[in-house]
Amino acid sequence: MGLVNAGLAWVRTRFARIKFNRTLGHHQGVLLNTEEGVECQRYRFRDGAVVLETEWRLVWSEVSGIFGYKIDAWTVDQIRLAFEVQGDGGITYVVTEDMEGYQSLVEALNRHFTGMNESWWRAVAFPAFETKRTTIWKRGGMGLDSGGTLPDKSLLPTSGAEREMSPSPGS
């Protein structure tokens, strides 16, 4: 009887894992804004249960630069924001417009970063299907450059296939 129960528990867990992978497993993440910074959380499947875990935390005072860009996601573009952080050895945190809480994050940027490029969204969004890297804010001064490199390794919580589609320098 114990072996049958163990087998049934394994089957239940396996079906729960499959259901998770088909639904929340592809969820981009949840952004939680605070006065100190932003936290990215992601759904995980742990011990047969779905939990929301912190993927990374970003403190506003440690941001050295913010830039926006977009990637060609086949049929549509996806706008992304990259936060360069001075205190983490040059780590760049990336968020996408598909993440829950993205709009409130964009609204919070004006409160936390004075001298921001107000026209960044239009500069990034048009024309379609071009990367259009645009500086939104830079510590010590800000410009409207469209040069520079995109992050090679972002901390964007995505699947491996989506990471392969991320823009590389010069694309």
The string of pLDDT tens digits covering residues 118-131 is: 899 999 999 988 99
- pLDDT by residue (tens digit) across 2-33? 666 666 666 666 666 666 566 655 667 899 99
* pLDDT score recorded for residue 51: 83
pLDDT digits (tens, 9 = 90+) for 57-72: 999 999 999 999 999 9
170 in a domain, yes or no? no
Between 28 and 170, name the one with better pLDDT: 28
Residue 169 lies inside a defined structural domain of this protein: no
Residue 146 is predicted with a pLDDT of 41
Q: pLDDT tier at 75 (50, 70, 90 boundaries)?
A: confident
**The pLDDT of residue 14:** 66
- The larger pLDDT score, comparing residue 143 to residue 51, is at 51
Q: What's residue 167's pLDDT?
A: 37
Give the domain extent around 97.
2-164
Q: Is residue 171 part of a domain?
A: no
Domain for residue 152, yes or no? yes
Mean pLDDT for 86-111 is 89
> Considering its fold, how many domains does the chain have in total?
1
The per-residue pLDDT of the chain, averaged, comes to 77
- DSSP for the chain reads -HHHHHHHHHHHHHHHHHHHHHTGGG---EEEE-SSEEEEEEEEEETTEEEEEEEEEEEGGGEEEEEEEEEEETTEEEEEEEEEETTTTS-EEEEETTSBTHHHHHHHHHHH-TT--TTHHHHHHSSTTS---EEEEETT-------S---SS------HHHHHTS--TT-
Average pLDDT of 85-113? 89
In this prediction the pTM is: 0.70
